[in-house]
Amino acid sequence: MIRAALVALALLGWAAAAGAAPLASSLFGAVSGPSNQRSQPIGTYARGCGAGMVELPESGPTWQAMRLSRNRNWGQPSLVAYLEDLSRKAAALGWRGLYIGDLSQPRGGPSASGHLSHQIGLDADVWYLPPPRLNLTAREREKISANSVRTEDQKHVNANWTEAHHQLLKMAASDPRVDRIFVAAAIKIEMCRTARAADKGWLQKIRPIYGHNDHFHVRLKCPPGATSCQTQKPTVAELSNGGNGCDDSLMWWVTTYLEELKHPGPPGPRKRTPRDYTMADLPKACATVLTAP
């Protein structure tokens, strides 16, 4: 942990000497372990960091963490506990458990590649691939790929989608710790179509978004007492006007939105993203998280 703090301080010092503000993604990505602090998510899911993160063990009785070379199997204690719980529920469905993708970096913060969120230790990606086995080597975890459950035209689920996927997402969303779950629009459309009419309230938390055809993205609420954490706004209830999101607005994702992707307008100025953030863009407490032993 001391070495991690020294690395961060050295990078900050080098950048200061060069008269440049280093990218926060470079600083957080260079630190290999968590801070020795009380666990606390700080800021927002896409602009923050995580103090006192804990590691999702690389392997467990009902899960394996994937892509270990990324060192992104770190999260708040509530997230790690949630994923372990969900993997046991997956095993009860008949799967061997779960393959779990990225959580956060050891101290959260922006990452140099991949996610724009996953910054405070409350986000995780769960693969749709039912694990054929749970004794993959580290090398195998780099090469195996998640399987898509959506057709290439993005409008329907494909033959990889099963009732077990539906039940897994239902259990995942029904947990009170969950704020929302991001899935490909075709998946929510299928779930709205097949869910029992009297049992659709949990679907409010299932939110359509581009991509996410081979995994679902779980986002937890700020845990109790996390005063430096900001849960996402608007809420899922506000987004769905108090309903379950299975209304005509859902079809926008597989009609108008897809047409807009095919026929984009003239490019505007490049938008700034979390990969462009410096430490000045993050909550002040993140500087302490970065340099703490």
- How does pLDDT run across 165-174, given as a tens digit for each residue? 999 999 999 9
Report residue 208 as tokens.
């359509």
Quick check: 244 and 200 in contact, CB under 8 A?
Answer: yes
List the beta bridge partners of residue 206.
181
Report residue 190 as tokens.
């299928």
The C-alpha atoms of residue 89 and residue 96 are separated, in whole angstroms, by: 10
Q: How far is CA 219 from CA 15, 17, 87, 205, 284, in A?
A: 34, 39, 16, 10, 23
List the beta bridge partners of residue 108.
none
Q: Residue 161: CB partners within 8 Å, gap ≥ 6? A: 149, 150, 187, 190
How much is the pLDDT for 14? 47
Fold (CATH) for 21-263: Muramoyl-pentapeptide Carboxypeptidase; domain 2 (3.30.1380)
List the beta bridge partners of residue 99.
64
DSSP code for 170: H
Q: So where are the chain's domains?
A: 21-263
- How does pLDDT run across 58-108, given as a tens digit for each residue? 999 999 999 999 999 999 999 999 999 999 999 999 999 999 999 999 999
Report residue 180 as tokens.
């929302």
Confidence tier at 114 by pLDDT (50, 70, 90):
confident
The C-alpha atoms of residue 188 and residue 130 are separated, in whole angstroms, by: 19
Quick check: 44 and 120 in contact, CB under 8 A?
Answer: yes
Nearest to 3 by CA among 49, 26, 48, 36: 36
Q: Is the pTM of this model over 0.75?
A: yes
- How does pLDDT run across 37-60, given as a tens digit for each residue? 999 999 999 999 999 999 999 999
Mean pLDDT throughout 259-281?
Answer: 92
Nearest to 149 by CA among 140, 139, 135, 160: 160
Residue 251: what residue type? M
Cα diameter, the chain:
63
The C-alpha atoms of residue 24 and residue 195 are separated, in whole angstroms, by: 43
Question: 214 pLDDT exceeds 50?
Answer: yes
